[in-house]
Amino acid sequence: MSDDSNGVPTPGSPEQYAIGISFGNSYSSIAHISGEGKVEVIANEEGDRQIPSILSYIDGEEYHGTQAKSQLVRNSKNTVAYFRDYIGKEYKSIDPTPCHASAHPIESNGVIAFSVQDTESATANDVTVPEIAIRHLRRLKNSATDFSGKAVTAAVVAVPTDANEEQKTAITKAAANIQVEVLQYIPEPIAALLAYDSRSTEPATDKIVLVADFGGNRSDAAIIASRGGMYSILATAHDYELGGAQLDQILIDHFAKEFEKKHKSDPRKNERSLAKLKLEAEAVKKALSLSSSATFSVESLADGVDFRSTINRSRYEISAFKVFGRFTRLVEEVVKKAELDVLDVDEVILSGGTSHTPKIAKNIQAIFPESTQVLAPATTPSSLNPSELSARGAALQASLIQEFEKEDIEQSTHEMVTVTPHITKAIGYQVTGQSSDSFTVIVPPDTAVPARRTTVIDGLEGDVLIRVCDAERDIKVTKPEPTAKPEANGAKDSDDEDSDDEDDEPEETREKVWKVKQALAEFVFKGLKKGSKVEVTANVDVDIALNLSARHLSGKGGVRGEIKAAEVTENGSA
Amino acid sequence: PPSADWKGDSDANPHFKSLGKLSAPINRKIEPYGAQFLAYARRKRHGRTFSEDDRI
């Protein structure tokens, strides 16, 4: 913080220090690329990597993060929380619900503000949301600066996919106020995907990824076609009333009822008691993500009575059954919106604090086939911390572009560059010796052009015809043969299983198949030796012309061919 | 296996036959993030092809 002189950082200069910021309604985090080139989530002075997005004021002193959060009990009126989604918005368009237990958003001269005593005087000031954002970002910047010893000059900020230009402009302004240049905004699901993809050293594969970001007060899901390391968002879905807060509420109700039974008073009816319940419920919830039981303990919860109780995970999971189902439904909704099937999804990334909940991850894993990898602590031990994904992705992106000139970034992110044709059908091949409905994908659908893919066909022999075709994905449903006859069923150990059997009966197997639409080209290789390999390369250029080449590996010569673009692909529809 | 009377497009290219054309694409937005995108943007802005890019 000592030197704010380099307000306009010189690109490429050693003073440029860009971080990734995940700016959430509930929590924020900051990350950077460490000296060894690794992504590192930075802890603030209190040792928190998930820093509550909360500011609180006592006698003119500002508290931030966890310290501010604990003020929700004694000093809630002067504590500002859940303000991220108010940035760049109009007062009438916001939902003030999350702020009931803290300073309320008010309209002050046409902007959203909070009335808090942020100075030593006893009168409250209207502090506008942009000003709150500045103060919050300043604390984050200072934490990163203190940690690394270098002044933060720039940042990439992760935002939800539905963040609009007004919101981004407002955040850019707030950051500029503390001499931080926002280099770029990165959608949270892309950041999460980037955080995972950067782990692997192998070249990027083609996959469909679903990123579900389960937050504190909202949850978002997105389907991303990842093609050769380039990402296209196919669909997004949002639930603005679903998140960790709904799970906290279940625990609040559970313990409040228990307290009421014992002491004949409902702690939810008293503001301060409710605030204590809330804080402790969140702590219990987090504990239940890690262990199978947790202790709830609050001193002087209500009427001066201390309260202590325990809950085990299965009890909690039963109570939260309905809410858990809503997370699963959001995931199903986004798959449907993308006009895909669960079988199309290769990878599910669970992001956000609520993704620590084992049951939520397990439920989501259950709706996907076994081949789909669900990346969450409960389902994949090697998964990254879901709370850190956005900040990590933002930091990675920051490190990629921090050397660039602002103009370069703007030009590269312009729609001239980013809006591009994507092929709609898969390009693949059929080969001699395989059944007529076989099809192997070379270039998957939803791939942006130009695109180039190479594949090797193994185990060829004799005279071989390779037919390149395009195909659409189809879901093949196979109903099992009705196995047991009614009487046979009764004869066996049936009684207890009878009803189950009936439920299971229509259980059908669904599989993904490719339906060949049309042949594009054929290659012929003659007199191949046993076990020959042929490498096929497909190169689709911007005007959808297809260049094909096939090469006999360890053999002589290759075959090339070009398929010209279809007449005038005038297609403004998308 | 190829039928006996299978013939390529031309004598110059006897082992290849073109049969159809790709169907129309739809326009989508690529997200401008990650190393692969930056490589793509660089190619696009300089009007380079993959192989030209490989050579650099």
CB neighbours of A286 closer than 8 A, spacing ≥ 6? A356
Nearest CA in chain A to B48: A450
Q: Give A16→chain B minimum CA distance, Å.
A: 20
Cα–Cα separations (whole angstroms), residue B15 to A378, A478, A531, A557: 53, 39, 20, 11
Q: Is residue A326 part of a domain?
A: no
- Residues linked to residue A455 through DSSP beta bridges, in sequence order: A536
CB contact under 8 A, B38 and A400: yes
Q: Give B43→chain A minimum CA distance, Å.
A: 10
Q: Give B13→chain A minimum CA distance, Å.
A: 8
Nearest CA in chain B to A191: B33
| Pair A64, A138 in one domain | yes
| Pair A281, A166 in one domain | no
pLDDT of residue A490: 46
CB contact under 8 A, A190 and B2: no
Task: Tokens for A484, please give them.
Answer: 């047991």
Number of domains in chain A: 3
Question: What phi, psi does B4 have (nearest 5°)?
Answer: -60, -35
CB contact under 8 A, B50 and A539: yes
| Pair A67, A166 in one domain | yes
Chain B residues lying within 8 Å of A545, measured CB to CB: 22
| Pair A25, A140 in one domain | yes
Check CB contact of B21 with chain A, cutoff 8 Å: yes
Q: Give B9→chain A minimum CA distance, Å.
A: 9
How confident is the prediction along chain A (574 residues), in pLDDT tens digits per residue? Answer: 444 444 444 444 557 899 999 999 999 999 999 888 899 999 999 999 999 999 999 999 999 999 999 999 999 999 999 999 999 999 999 999 999 999 999 999 889 999 999 998 888 999 999 999 999 999 999 999 999 999 999 999 999 999 999 999 999 999 999 999 999 999 999 999 999 999 887 778 899 999 999 999 999 999 999 999 999 999 999 999 999 999 999 999 999 999 999 999 999 999 999 999 999 999 999 999 999 999 999 999 998 999 999 999 999 999 999 999 999 999 999 999 999 999 999 999 999 999 999 999 999 999 999 999 999 999 999 999 999 999 999 999 999 998 888 888 888 888 777 888 999 999 999 987 777 778 999 999 999 988 999 999 988 888 888 999 999 999 999 887 766 555 544 444 444 444 444 455 567 889 999 999 999 998 888 888 888 889 999 999 888 899 999 988 876 667 888 888 765 444 443 3
| Matching residue, tokens 């969450």 | A376
Nearest CA in chain A to B38: A412
Cα–Cα separations (whole angstroms), residue A142 to A149, A186, A385: 10, 22, 24
Nearest CA in chain A to B35: A400
Q: Give A211→chain B minimum CA distance, Å.
A: 15
Chain A residues lying within 8 Å of B4, measured CB to CB: none
Q: Pick the last residue of a domain from A146, A179, A212.
A: A179
CB contact under 8 A, B28 and A422: yes
Nearest CB neighbour to B34, from listed A231, A448, A572 = A231
Q: Is residue A292 part of a domain?
A: yes
Q: Is residue A146 part of a domain?
A: yes
Check CB contact of B34 with chain A, cutoff 8 Å: yes
CB pairs under 8 A between A and B: 180
Cα–Cα distance, A315 to A130 (Å, whole number): 42
Q: Give A111→chain B minimum CA distance, Å.
A: 32
| Pair A144, A69 in one domain | yes
Q: What is the dihedral of CA A71, A72, A74, A76, to 10 degrees?
A: 110
CATH number of residue A291's parent domain: 3.90.640.10
CATH number of residue A537's parent domain: 2.60.34.10
Prediction ipTM score? 0.87
Provide mean pLDDT across the span B34-52. Answer: 81
Check CB contact of B10 with chain A, cutoff 8 Å: no
Q: Is residue A338 part of a domain?
A: no
Nearest CA in chain B to A520: B20
| Pair A164, A22 in one domain | yes
CB neighbours of A391 closer than 8 A, spacing ≥ 6? A20, A21, A22, A29, A30, A31, A41, A158, A191
Q: Pick the last residue of a domain from A159, A179, A199.
A: A179
Q: Is residue A551 part of a domain?
A: yes
| Cα Rg, chain A, nearest whole Å | 28
Q: Pick the last residue of a domain from A279, A300, A319.
A: A319
| Pair A150, A26 in one domain | yes
Q: Is residue A161 part of a domain?
A: yes
Buried b (16+ CB within 10 A) or exposed e, B31-42: bbbbbbbbebbe
| Pair A163, A249 in one domain | no
| Pair A172, A30 in one domain | yes
Q: Give B18→chain A minimum CA distance, Å.
A: 4
Chain B residues lying within 8 Å of A452, measured CB to CB: 50
| Pair A167, A260 in one domain | no
| Pair A443, A554 in one domain | yes
CB contact under 8 A, B31 and A449: no
Question: What phi, psi does B14 have (nearest 5°)?
Answer: -70, -15
Structural domain span for residue A282: 244-319
Q: Is residue A68 part of a domain?
A: yes
Task: Tokens for A178, please give them.
Answer: 């503390």
pLDDT of residue A506: 65
Q: Is residue A200 part of a domain?
A: no
Cα–Cα distance, B32 to A414 (Å, whole number): 9
Chain A residues lying within 8 Å of B21, measured CB to CB: 520, 544, 546, 563-566
pLDDT of residue A485: 55
Nearest CB neighbour to A230, from listed B25, B27, B40 = B40
Task: Tokens for A369, please give them.
Answer: 């086939």
CATH number of residue A129's parent domain: 3.30.420.40
Chain B residues lying within 8 Å of A230, measured CB to CB: 30-31, 34, 36-37, 40
pTM: 0.89
| Pair A22, A169 in one domain | yes
Higher pLDDT, B10 or A27: A27
